[in-house]
């Protein structure tokens, strides 16, 4: 988590660039923020507890300028969100400023040994040891000092460092936390995410683990931490600033929900072949044989991506008859998992940076599995370290609660299941049917989005409740989990997702008129069963909001409120059914006055364990 930005140029003030860049990475953390800049050989720092808007207010009152600087927006790990714990952190001389994303695992031992050498610490952060360690190694060359200091550091870091005595040198380094170098015309940048730089440049270099960059107003060089020069490819970012603006929507989350008719199209653009009733996924080309002979697919992911994995499991087993297991990446990485020679690990991640997911992928690879990614962010660590994969092409997702990335993951999983199915049991006729149904999804999403006003109305009537139960069966059980997660994340309302039939094994005890039950009940093979589950809720006084197929009369009789979704093939239903649940959560959160795009305690990209 945490967002960092650094910039070096000559003859002009870069503080506004840093603060604007910070706003673009605020999704990474937003409990405190700070900036440091060097002017006339003097390092000045401004820090606040709270959001970047607070930092801007402070800068308006107490301006800072300089042609080199670093900035940070924090998601606290060590030490509460406070001004003193905010970054940049300074060394004992007040000349070195450092911003950090990650966790220094051996910080206690480092701090103790530095204290013994006379260093005095002000904050509770793990980060402060880094800057004191650099001070300890400093002999007139900040890049050399960073290199020497990092040799003794264990843990994850993306850092940017400046020294008041070297006002033309910006140093960045990474291990486990993302860091990208931006190449401007007369300006060089480092940042956690290209979003921070996109207004200024689309030419970037992605650093890999244990690499460093040293930038000056005249250029930059990349090296390993051992100081071996390395030449890195300059990559061109294809998306633009509009894609990270709200474009008239009150929140990014709502904008991203409304983009889904387009993003699901982009997810499979050029990947479905109508005539052959098949899918072609170029990034998996080299692994077709392995996929065709796979004994088992192990899906590894966290959060919303894990829910997509659960649906992917149903899709792949249904269409391709390959056994699939879905694991929380955080659990997989620390167990002693059995990996057989013909197992394939499928890694699902929007950001491509989630620490647990990355570590789980590396563990699977270490044990001999081929790791294939379904990733949204091009250039991300998982995208680069996987053995192959498919980009979801959903564009930047800024809202912390994932929406469009989820439906794009489902489209890609449906394409993958089709591809695997076609090389096994699925006939060309069935394949064509699936391709046609997938082609209909964008229009059907538009139909659901047109019902937003009605969903808003329902949301207002239920927003005061403090507990919700979400139920679904089959393909829609993971949809219930995702609907509940959306509500929890952004409205701070307790919500639980359950397989509808499991309700009677416990949660039914909770049901009364104060516990709204959201039931995902399209007309599929579980329809009759879920009607019974709804009866069970009704007879205990529960209030039901049902997601059901268009024209369904029976559910209308049972439910207090109904949101209809168009009909599609059963394995594609989750792509439609989740959309009203996203909107329901969104409107409940707005009604409750919650900060939708930046919910408390969360961060979009979880780069700590
Ligand atoms: C965080 C985000 C979630 C996301 C999860 C996994 O918890 O808040 O929205 O689903 O990380 O992220 P990934 O980028 O790996 O999909």
Q: Which residues pair with 171 in a beta bridge?
A: 161, 214
Residue 604 annotated as catalytic: yes
Residue with CA nearest ligand 1 atom 5: 303
pLDDT of residue 541: 86
pLDDT of residue 76: 83
Do 215 and 206 meet the contact criterion of CB atoms below 8 Å apart?
A: no
CA dihedral sign, ordered 435, 389, 176, 379: negative
276-319 per-position pLDDT tens digit = 999 999 899 999 999 999 999 999 999 999 999 999 999 999 99
Residue with CA nearest ligand 1 atom 3: 303
Contacts of 49 (CB under 8 A, 6+ apart): 31, 32, 81, 82, 83, 86
Residue with CA nearest ligand 1 atom 7: 303
- Does pLDDT of 329 surpass 80? yes
Residue with CA nearest ligand 1 atom 8: 604
Confidence of residue 522 (pLDDT cuts 50, 70, 90): very high
Q: Which of 47, 95, 255, 604 is catalytic?
A: 604
Q: Measured from the CB, is residue 357 less than 6 Å from ligand 1? A: yes
Other CB atoms within 10 A of residue 475 CB: 25
- Does pLDDT of 382 surpass 90? yes
pLDDT of residue 483: 98
Report, as an integer, the average pLDDT of 76-85. 88
Q: What are phi and psi of 527, to 5 degrees?
A: -50, -50
pLDDT of residue 501: 82
- Does pLDDT of 609 surpass 90? no
Contacts of 118 (CB under 8 A, 6+ apart): none
303 C-alpha to ligand 1 centroid (Å): 5
166 by DSSP, 3-state: which?
Answer: coil
Contacts of 322 (CB under 8 A, 6+ apart): 294, 295, 296, 297, 316, 420, 424
What the block records as the tokens of 85 is 């714990």
pLDDT of residue 379: 81
* Measured distance CA(220)–CA(230) in Å, rounded: 11
Residue with CA nearest ligand 1 atom 2: 604
More confident residue, 245 or 250: 250
pLDDT of residue 547: 97
Half-sphere exposure of 567 (CA within 13 A, CB side): 6
* Measured distance CA(326)–CA(347) in Å, rounded: 10
Confidence of residue 217 (pLDDT cuts 50, 70, 90): very high
Looking at the CA of residue 401, tell me the nearest atom of ligand 1.
Answer: 9
CA dihedral sign, ordered 404, 406, 409, 411: negative
609 by DSSP, 3-state: which?
Answer: coil
Q: Where are the beta strands (DSSP E) in 292-440?
A: 296-301, 324-328, 343-349, 370-375, 388-391
Confidence of residue 169 (pLDDT cuts 50, 70, 90): very high
Do 28 and 158 meet the contact criterion of CB atoms below 8 Å apart?
A: no
Q: What are phi and psi of 185, to 5 degrees?
A: -75, -45
Q: Measured from the CB, is residue 349 less than 6 Å from ligand 1? A: yes
Tell me the whole-structure pTM to 2 decimals. Answer: 0.82
Q: Measured from the CB, is residue 303 less than 6 Å from ligand 1? A: yes
Q: Measured from the CB, is residue 355 less than 6 Å from ligand 1? A: no
The residue to mutate among 305, 359, 399, 408, having the most atoms of ligand 1 within 8 angstroms of its beta carbon, is 305
272 C-alpha to ligand 1 centroid (Å): 27
251-284 per-position pLDDT tens digit = 999 999 999 999 999 999 989 999 999 999 989 9
74 C-alpha to ligand 1 centroid (Å): 17
Q: Measured from the CB, is residue 409 less than 6 Å from ligand 1? A: no
Helix count (H) and strand count (E) of the chain?
Answer: 19, 27
Q: What are phi and psi of 137, to 5 degrees?
A: -95, -5
% pLDDT > 90, the chain = 81
Looking at the CA of residue 302, tell me the nearest atom of ligand 1.
Answer: 6
What the block records as the tokens of 175 is 């291990």
36 C-alpha to ligand 1 centroid (Å): 30
Q: What are phi and psi of 363, to 5 degrees?
A: -65, -45
Instruction: State the burial class of residue 35 (Cβ atoms within 10 Å of its Cβ: 0-12, 13-18, 19+).
Output: buried
19-74 per-position pLDDT tens digit = 999 999 888 888 899 999 999 999 999 999 999 999 999 999 999 999 999 999 99
Q: Which residue's entry shows tokens 């039931």?
A: 519
Q: Which of 2, 7, 187, 594 is catalytic?
A: 2
Q: Measured from the CB, is residue 145 less than 6 Å from ligand 1? A: no
According to DSSP, the β-strands at 296-301 and 272-273 are unpaired
Phi-psi region of 248 (alpha: psi -120 to 50; beta: other; left: phi over 0): left
Spell out the SS3 assignment of 383-416.
Answer: HHHCCEEEECCCCCCCCCCCCHHHHHHHHHHHHH
Report, as an integer, the average pLDDT of 423-451. 97
pLDDT of residue 525: 84
Do 52 and 223 meet the contact criterion of CB atoms below 8 Å apart?
A: no
* Measured distance CA(361)–CA(348) in Å, rounded: 10
């Amino acid at each position: 988590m945490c967002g960092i930005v650094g910039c070096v140029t000559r003859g002009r003030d870069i503080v506004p660039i840093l603060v604007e860049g910070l706003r673009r990475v605020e999704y990474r953390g937003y409990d405190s923020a700070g900036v440091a800049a060097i002017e006339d050989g003097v390092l000045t720092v401004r820090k606040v507890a709270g959001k970047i808007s607070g930092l801007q207010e402070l800068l308006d009152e107490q301006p800072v300028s300089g042609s080199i600087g670093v900035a940070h927006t924090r998601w606290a790990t060590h030490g509460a969100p406070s001004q003193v714990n905010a970054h940049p952190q300074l060394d004992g001389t007040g000349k070195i400023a450092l911003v950090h994303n990650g966790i220094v695992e051996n910080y206690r031992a480092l701090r103790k040994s530095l204290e013994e050498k006379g260093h005095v610490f002000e904050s509770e952060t793990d980060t402060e040891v880094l800057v004191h360690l650099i001070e300890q190694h400093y002999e007139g060359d900040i890049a050399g000092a960073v290199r020497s200091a990092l040799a003794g550091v264990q843990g994850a870091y993306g850092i940017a460092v400046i020294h008041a005595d070297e006002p033309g040198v910006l140093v960045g380094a990474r291990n486990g936390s993302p860091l990208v170098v931006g190449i401007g015309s007369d300006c060089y940048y480092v940042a956690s995410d290209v979003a921070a730089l996109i207004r200024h440049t689309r030419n970037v270099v992605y650093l890999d683990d244990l690499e460093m960059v040293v930038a000056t107003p005249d250029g930059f060089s990349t090296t390993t931490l051992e100081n071996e020069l390395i030449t890195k490819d300059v990559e061109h970012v294809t998306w633009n600033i509009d894609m990270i603006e709200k474009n008239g929507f009150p929140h990014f989350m709502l904008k991203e929900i409304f983009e889904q008719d387009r993003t699901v199209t982009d997810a499979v653009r050029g990947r479905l072949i109508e005539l052959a009733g098949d899918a072609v996924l170029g990034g998996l080309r080299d692994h077709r044989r392995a996929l065709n002979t796979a004994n088992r697919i192990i899906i590894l992911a966290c959060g919303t991506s894990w829910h997509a994995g659960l649906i992917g499991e149903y899709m792949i087993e249904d269409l391709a008859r390959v056994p699939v297991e879905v694991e929380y990446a955080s659990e997989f990485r620390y167990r002693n998992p059995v990996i057989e020679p013909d197992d394939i690990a499928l890694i699902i991640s929007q950001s491509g940076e989630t620490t647990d997911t990355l570590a789980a992928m590396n563990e699977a690879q270490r044990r001999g599995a081929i790791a294939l990614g379904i990733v949204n962010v091009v250039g991300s660590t998982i995208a680069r370290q996987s053995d192959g994969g498919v980009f979801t092409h959903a564009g930047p997702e800024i809202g912390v609660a994932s929406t469009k990335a989820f439906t794009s993951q489902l489209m890609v999983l449906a394409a993958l299941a089709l591809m695997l199915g076609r090389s096994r049991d699925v006939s060309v006729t069935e394949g064509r049917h699936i391709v046609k149904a997938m082609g209909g999804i964008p229009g059907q999403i538009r139909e659901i989005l047109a019902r937003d006003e009605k969903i808003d109305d329902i949301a207002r009537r239920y927003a005061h409740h403090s507990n919700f139960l979400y139920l679904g069966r089959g393909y829609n059980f993971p949809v219930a989990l995702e609907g509940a997660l959306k509500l929890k994340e952004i409205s701070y309302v307790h919500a639980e997702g359950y397989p509808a039939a499991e309700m009677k094994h416990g949660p039914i005890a909770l049901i009364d008129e104060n516990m709204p039950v959201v039931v995902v009940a399209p007309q599929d093979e579980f329809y009759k069963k879920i009607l019974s589950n709804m009866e069970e809720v009704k007879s205990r006084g529960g209030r039901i909001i049902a997601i059901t197929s268009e024209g369904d009369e029976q559910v209308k009789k049972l439910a207090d409120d109904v949101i209809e979704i168009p009909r599609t093939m059963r394995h594609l239903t989750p792509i439609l059914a989740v959309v009203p649940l996203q909107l329901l959560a969104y409107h409940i959160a707005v009604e409750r006055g919650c900060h939708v795009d930046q919910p408390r305690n969360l961060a979009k990209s979880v780069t700590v364990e």
